[in-house]
Amino acid sequence: MVRVLIVDDEPMIRQGLSKLIRQADAAITETATAVDGADALEKMREQCPDFLFTDIRMPRMDGLELCRRVSETYKDVQIVVVSGYGDFEYARQCMGWGVKQYLLKPVTRSAVYETVGKLLEKLREKQPGGYIPLSTSGHWLETLDQAIWLLQEEQIEQTLDDLEHYCREQRMSVRQLREFVAQLQDGLLQALNRRDVYPLESAPSQTDALIDEQACYTWLRQETGRLTGLIRGKRKGNPKEPIEEAKRYIEQHLSRELSLEEVAERLGLNASYLSQLFRQVAGETFVQYRTKRRIELAKRLLAQPHVKITDISHEVGYADHPHFTKTFKRSTGYTPAEYRGLLGIQG
């Protein structure tokens, strides 16, 4: 939830520095750019950044003048001068205007990471309640993503209660809290859509209307409820985890040829996604699992002397008896008759 403004008249430098700064720490949620000092001041009037990275030599308004004006008007903004070796004397003049950090071009990844780390540390000292560790926010995002996907409403409510309690203890400002819940909601939407199962759309933005703490918490609960409802609707009301439900459906229909496409349609899923998810979760393909369950059922039936082997092949979904015999032997090493013989059953 930290904003950065990058000021440089060279597009490649702006883009490269923006990328490095975003990679430096997940707390950096927004990097805006400006082409010179005048452009930067206009953008700062609209939305003030936490950190300002600026070049020295620029048209219209150079970095020296920009630093002077920012130090007078935006005293809480931390300024970093980014310039070439030949401009070092200019950079030294900026130190009188509150500039504490200096990056020499061409900037390196390690230098940017180190500088961002120092800036964030100072920001946390000024705003001890305004920074949520990445591990904490990541835990909430992962927990809510999983709970929403599995339609675990009690887990969702418990996580939101824990989140609200934590944020209240941190004494976050309304602006910080508003940015955090908006970022968390966007992360949830992206995480759910990364499964590439149901295309979930974001609701019209209402974060500007969140004028106090309670409004932020209420909005986040409404959004998690909306996402949960969308998934429940896509699954046609089925609250169970997809692979668990797929296995149950297979179990109920072992006696006939059951296709992956039929199970996917039953669950409201894309067939290719279900195939991929099944392998990932179950550790085997849909067909391998179905065959394994058929063979296990066949073994139980073969242990019953009064049941004919030909009837068993139909009972476990093989209309072609030779195919059943071949599949059974490939799975167990024995034909159905040989397996029954091992059990001491004749005929």
Q: What is the pLDDT of residue 1?
A: 64
3-class secondary structure, 119: helix
Domain ranges, ordered by start, for the chain: 2-126, 134-234, 242-342
pLDDT band at 103 (very low <50, low <70, confident <90, very high): confident
Tell me phi and psi for residue 67, to 5 degrees: -60, -40
Q: Give the whole-angstrom CA distance, residue 78 versus residue 71.
A: 9
What does pTM read for this prediction? 0.44
Say whether pLDDT at 87 is over 70: no
* Average confidence (pLDDT) over 248-255: 88
Superfamily designation of domain 2-126? Response regulator (3.40.50.2300)
Q: What is the pLDDT of residue 53?
A: 94
CB 181 within 8 A of CB 141: no
DSSP annotation of 65 reads H
Among 52, 56, 91, 103, which Cα is nearest to 74's? 52
* Average confidence (pLDDT) over 325-339: 92
List, for residues 201-212, the tens digit of each pLDDT value. 777 666 677 788
List, for residues 36-72, the tens digit of each pLDDT value. 999 999 989 888 888 999 988 888 888 888 988 888 8
State which of 131-140, 179-188, 216-225 shows the largest mean pLDDT: 216-225
CATH code: domain 242-342 is: 1.10.10.60
pLDDT band at 30 (very low <50, low <70, confident <90, very high): confident
Enumerate residues 6+ apart whose C-beta is below 8 A from 131: 1, 27, 120, 123, 124
List, for residues 219-238, the tens digit of each pLDDT value. 999 999 999 998 888 766 55
Q: Give the whole-angstrom CA distance, residue 250 versus residue 234.
A: 21
Say whether pLDDT at 217 is over 80: yes
* Average confidence (pLDDT) over 124-149: 73
Sheet holding 2-7, edge to edge: 28-34, 2-7, 51-54, 78-83, 101-104
Q: Give the whole-angstrom CA distance, residue 324 versus residue 314.
A: 9
pLDDT band at 175 (very low <50, low <70, confident <90, very high): confident
DSSP annotation of 207 reads G
Q: Give the whole-angstrom CA distance, residue 255 versus residue 157.
A: 41
